[in-house]
Amino acid sequence: MTTIGFVRHGVTQWNKEGRAQGNSDIPLDTEGLKQARLLAEQLEIGDWDIVYSSDLLRAKQTAEILNDKLGTQLQLDSRLRERGCGLVEGMTEEERVQQWGPKWRELDMQFETQDSIIARGMAFIDEISDKHKHQNVLIVSHGTFIKMLLNRLLPDSNMDESLKNTSLTSMSRDDSGWACDMYNWTEHLLKSDLFN
């Protein structure tokens, strides 16, 4: 059996401001770093063989913190990047409305297409599924990217809840296909020292 764990990166200042991050290289803020450390303490008890991460800074920082605790190999892969947000990248909803009006979503904002995201994401999943058979692989990436992949891998799963920062979603694959073992798990964030 192969297990894949998907981790959404820790929170950034742009997350808090509601800015579309896309492929902008935004670092974790202080809270995001704490979130990653708390998750690392929980993951340390698990059995992860390798960590892959998006090469964007917010995911890379999260992965480095996790990998330091796990003591495994870390590999960066640009196929794990967030969806490109085109013309709205770096903008809040209010700024988009000011720029293009309330119906801005009906305009061509040059977002990366869903087909493009699924193509690069599935190419990566197929590759690591073959390369790491019967291993536990941790992937640090981004909310929209992970959600689109999950819905492709498990089309009848009804996973509509937005992924929280540093959430863990775990899937396993056997001869019958993929199954979701854990979705959007964030118990590590309940630790009170996050807010001290």
Split the chain (196 residues) into runs of 10 and give each run's mean pLDDT: 95 97 97 96 83 98 96 96 96 96 95 96 95 95 96 85 95 88 92 53
| Span 2-83+113-195 CATH architecture | 3-Layer(aba) Sandwich (3.40)
Phi, psi (degrees; rounded to nearest 5) at 103: -100, 30
Q: Where are the alpha helices (DSSP H) in the chain?
A: 13-17, 30-43, 57-70, 93-100, 114-131, 143-153
- SS3 category, 74: strand
Q: Is 8 annotated as a binding residue?
A: yes
9 is catalytic: yes
| Intra-chain end-to-end CA distance of the chain, in Å | 40
**Do the annotations mark residue 98 as ligand-binding?**
no
Please tell me the predicted confidence (pLDDT) of residue 166.
Answer: 97
Inter-residue contact 60 to 53 (CB < 8 Å): yes
Q: Give which of 70, 66, 76, 78 is closest to 32, Cα–Cα.
A: 66
In angstroms, the CA 112 to CA 98 distance is 23
Is 13 a known ligand-binding residue? Answer: yes
The separation between CA 154 and the C-alpha centre of its own chain, rounded to angstroms, equals: 17
CB atoms inside a 10 Å sphere around CB 196: 6
Q: Per the annotation, does 173 bind a ligand?
A: no
9 in a known ligand binding site: yes
10 is in an annotated binding site: yes
What is the C-alpha R_g of the chain? Answer: 17
Closest CA to 35 of 14, 17, 8, 53: 8
Q: Considering the entire predicted model, what is its pTM?
A: 0.94
Predicted local confidence at residue 45, as pLDDT: 60
82 is catalytic: yes
Helix-then-strand count for the chain, H and E: 6, 6
Say what the pLDDT of residue 175 is.
80
Q: What is the pLDDT of residue 193?
A: 54
Q: Give Cβ neighbours of residue 26 (< 8 Å, ≥ 6 apart).
A: 12, 13, 14, 56, 57, 58
The residue from 17, 41, 64, 82 that is catalytic is: 82
Per-residue pLDDT at 196:
47
Catalytic residue of the set 9, 31, 89, 142: 9
Consult the annotation and say whether 165 binds a ligand.
no
